[in-house]
Structure 1
Amino acid sequence: MQAETGVVAHSHARGQLLWAETGVLSITSDNTIWVLPPTHAVWIPSYIPHQVNSETQAQLRNLYIDPAYPIRQNEKSIVMLTMSHLLREVILKLTDTKVSLTDQQIKNLGLVAIDELEVLKPFNNNIHSGKDLRLQRLINYIVQHPNQQLSLPDLSKIAGASARTIERLFKSETGMTFRQWRSRFKLMNSLALITQGKTSTFIAHELGYKSVSSFITTFKAQFGCTPQEYATKE
């Protein structure tokens, strides 16, 4: 998937496991946004509309699973999952066009993928986008330009509403102020940058934090560990 491109809202008859081997994706569905680094995937049940955007070039790897195989039946909407090393290698094997697999090998690997998908742990890295079209217009801009540092008055012009109206919409439709929402979105994107091997200094500068220490403090308050500790775990 090329940088700064996207796929409009669509759905599939089969369940989809969406994973980017490289790059970072944003997924939008049902007024919710997920930021997806290579350490994670999203499970998208059948017929769930979703939109995909990529700010960077990304190598997508998709698995489509027939409804005849019941997967994560308690989850009726999109869920973000922490990838396992086993599932990662199985997907790479199944999607490697240079490797010739027999039908039986494909079936065996597919069954392993299904078993592994069932036990992956959910990971909360999403944020609400609201239903109001003006708010969605503004949020879509932020999603497509995650490193921008425009003020609320400037962003409100993109939305076609006053700054006061946009602030009210953020509170009523996302449960957060604009400042809180953007802070949360920055943290979501910081996870993706960490998985790319970026330093805290780089991330703090890239995402517009006032200092490296303020980024680390905010990150630890949200995720319970420092960026370096998170990178070590992943």
Structure 2
Amino acid sequence: MRQGTGEITVAGVRWNLHAGAMVWVPAGVVHDVALRAGADLLSLYANVDLRPADPSWSRARVLRTDRLLSALVEHLADDAPHPGRRHLCWTLYVDLMADATDLFDSMTLPTDPHARSVAEQILRAPGDPRGIEAWASGAGVSARTLMRAFVRDTGCTFGRWRTLARLNAGAALIVAGEPVHLVAEAVGYRTSSGFIASFRAEFGTTPERYRRRLR
């Protein structure tokens, strides 16, 4: 991702993309990409024989890139390199990809239809203040049923899943340049300090440092 933000969904797992993120999608895997205004995504297609050997590369992943890997992708996407240099670049690409680390800002969507409907509404409006009782009532199920569906399908409680959804939505707004106090309000936090504390706990840095790093 060269600049801006977007989303990719693979097999029910939804990732929020931002500048500096790299998406690995194995050959033959159906996926859906949605880019927001101003986003710029560079696509690179590699021979399946170049896939790193570890089994983790048989599934889609969102990776953290460094300057060398980003520059190498840009170089390989160009038709200019002659065959000898291109071979060397692909060799280096495979080596660097094997050591790339995951970006842990994915959002797994529930497969249960009631829970999925609730999850999609929260993703569209992360600042919605309703609690699980209200969400369950609107979905026509009990709060206990909704809670069980979230835990079974996503591995997270409803509260934990909603917190991740809010923080990921907030991260996208932060990268887009929105002030922290407006982001906090937009994603359902009563105070900026509460949002900053949750953001630091999840991402390991403050919103402002996160913005500077990704920009």
TM bin, normalised by shorter chain, reads 0.7 to 0.9
Identity %: 24
Instruction: Kindly indicate whether residue 143 of structure 2 is the aligned counterpart of residue 161 of structure 1.
Output: no
1:83-162 equivalences under 5 Å are 83-95=65-77, 101-104=80-83, 105-143=85-123, 145=124, 147=126, 149=128, 151=130, 153=134, 157=138, 160-162=139-141
Query: Which amino acid in structure 2 is aligned with residue 61 of structure 1?
Result: L
Cα deviation code 1:152-185 (max 9, x no counterpart): 646864xx53363434422333233333211111
Q: What amino acid is aligned across from residue 223 of structure 1 in structure 2?
A: F
- Number of residues of Structure 1 aligned to a counterpart in Structure 2: 209
For 2:37 and 2:166, the matched residues in 1 are separated by: 16
Distance 1:187 1:71 in 2: 32
The corresponding residue for 1:67 is 48
Deviations 1:105-157 (A, max 9, x none): 544444443332222222221232222133223333444x2556263646864
Pairwise CA distance, 1:210: 0.9
In structure 2, the residue matched to 1:26 is: 7
For residue 195 of structure 1, the aligned residue among 168, 175, 184 is 175
Which structure shows the higher helix fraction? Answer: 2
Work out the CA distance in 2 between the residues paired with 1:55 and 1:139.
20
Q: Is the 8 A contact 2:109 2:119 kept in 1?
A: yes
Pair 91,166 (structure 1): closer, same or farther in 2 beyond 3 Å = same
C-alpha change, 1:224 and 1:68, in structure 2 (3 Å) is: closer
1:224 has 2:196 as partner: no
RMSD of aligned Cα (Å):
2.9
Residue matched to 1:214: 194
Q: Distance in 1 between matches of 2:154 and 2:98?
A: 30
Task: Compute the TM-score of the two structures, normalised by the length of structure 1.
Answer: 0.73
Q: Quote how far apart the aligned CAs of 1:192 are.
A: 2.8
Query: Is residue 118–residue 135 contact of structure 2 (8 Å, CA) maintained in 1?
Result: no
Task: State the 4+ residue runs in structure 1 displaced beyond 6 angstroms.
Answer: none
TM-score (norm 2): 0.78
Separation in 2, partners of 1:110, 1:225: 33
Q: 1:78 aligns with which of 50, 54, 60?
A: 60
Q: Which runs of 5+ in 2 are unaligned?
A: none
The answer for the alignment partner of 2:39 in structure 1 is 58
